Amino acid sequence: MEDQGKKLTFFQKTPIQCPLCETVFYREELLTGGGRMIAGPLTRDLRRMYEPSKKFGEVYPLIYPITVCPACFYATLPQDFSSPPEKNKGILLEQSEKRKESLKPLFPELDFTRPRRLQEGTASYILAIFCYDYFTKEYSPTIKQGICCLRAAWCSHDLHRKFPNENYDYLAANLYRKARFFYTQAVEREQRGLEPMSGMKVLGPDLDKDYGYDGVLYLNGLLELLYGPRQDKEKRIQALTTAKRYVAKIFGMGKASKQKPSALLDQARELYEEINKALEQIGVQVGPEEEVEGNE
């Protein structure tokens, strides 16, 4: 009998059947405990880093959440896998080869039947981004695409650290820009009542803690500041002003803000000031009333 204490992952005994191509496969899960995951610092974009352990080495919890059919490369978060929109099942299956071909230049040797590497983990999120294009609003596909983009960018950074000559840093930058687009769209669509976020019960963005809607507003602002388009000055001003207003809501609610995670509140205050500085650098005067807007 295999020693569970030395294993990092296991494959579930209960099979999963792909709702598109009907392939039967087994989902890989990460074991917890036993010193497998040693929590490290929290990054600015709310990613939890993990320290390598002597027994297991580097562990990447993020590479396992997405369920992927190893045959047709249909991929989603676990809660959506078995029930894609009925009307779009046909096109999701038809685009199987397109999904595979799109990933070949980046990851030529993907295999989702074996224990995952960082390559499969990163690819799984990119596949999910493609597939969520065909999910209807009740699934909250836009915020799911944003979270998948962000996690794929994180995994790409890990790949770049291990393989610095493979252009994974370029991939990460592209994914951050896409994350910014999807987060902006998700907030706008939610605010206008076009697509609620209730279809995503845990908004993460990472696996260790759910920062909820406040986390979404914070990341919307951070991604806009760092990766928003800059060619059109007026659009840049408008986007940053909107992002700043959303960030101010995180810590501008008096007593209610005391119940929020201090790490997020501190990050939000710093981001608010950075957005103000960015606006000033492009010629926008920030008045005293704006400076204290979020400190009430």
**Count of domains for the chain:** 1
- The enclosing H or E element of 277 equals helix 262-281
The predicted structure's pLDDT at residue 288: 53
User: Is residue 209 domain-resident?
Assistant: yes
User: Domain limits at 126?
Assistant: 9-253+260-282
Beta bridge partners of 16: 25
Spell out the per-residue pLDDT of the chain, length 296, in tens.
Answer: 345 557 899 999 999 999 999 999 999 999 988 888 899 999 999 999 999 988 889 999 999 999 999 999 999 999 999 999 999 999 999 999 999 999 999 999 999 999 999 999 999 999 999 999 999 999 999 999 999 999 999 999 999 999 999 999 999 999 999 999 999 999 999 999 999 999 999 999 999 999 999 999 999 999 999 999 999 999 999 999 999 999 999 987 554 566 788 889 999 999 999 999 999 999 887 765 454 444 43
The predicted structure's pLDDT at residue 294: 42
Distance CA(148)–CA(181), nearest Å, equals 12
| Omega within 30 of 0 (cis) for the link into 141 | no
pTM (2 decimals)?
0.93
Instruction: Give Cβ neighbours of residue 270 (< 8 Å, ≥ 6 apart).
Output: none
User: Is residue 293 domain-resident?
Assistant: no
User: Which residue type sits at 215?
Assistant: G
Beta bridge partners of 38: 51
Distance CA(214)–CA(212), nearest Å, equals 5
User: Is residue 181 domain-resident?
Assistant: yes
User: Is residue 268 domain-resident?
Assistant: yes
Q: Cα–Cα distances in Å, from 61 out to 8, 108, 143? A: 10, 23, 20
Under the phi-then-psi rule, with left for phi > 0, alpha for psi from -120 to 50, and beta for the rest, what region is 59?
Answer: beta
User: Which residue type sits at 258?
Assistant: K
User: Is residue 15 domain-resident?
Assistant: yes
Question: Is the torsion defined by CA of 202, 150, 22, 119 positive or negative?
Answer: negative
Other C-beta atoms closer than 10 Å to the C-beta of 167 total 13
| pLDDT one-digit tens code per residue, 68-89 | 999 999 999 999 999 999 999 9
User: Is residue 81 domain-resident?
Assistant: yes
User: Is residue 289 domain-resident?
Assistant: no
User: Which residue type sits at 76?
Assistant: T
| Cβ atoms of 141 and 92 closer than 8 Å | no
User: Is residue 294 domain-resident?
Assistant: no
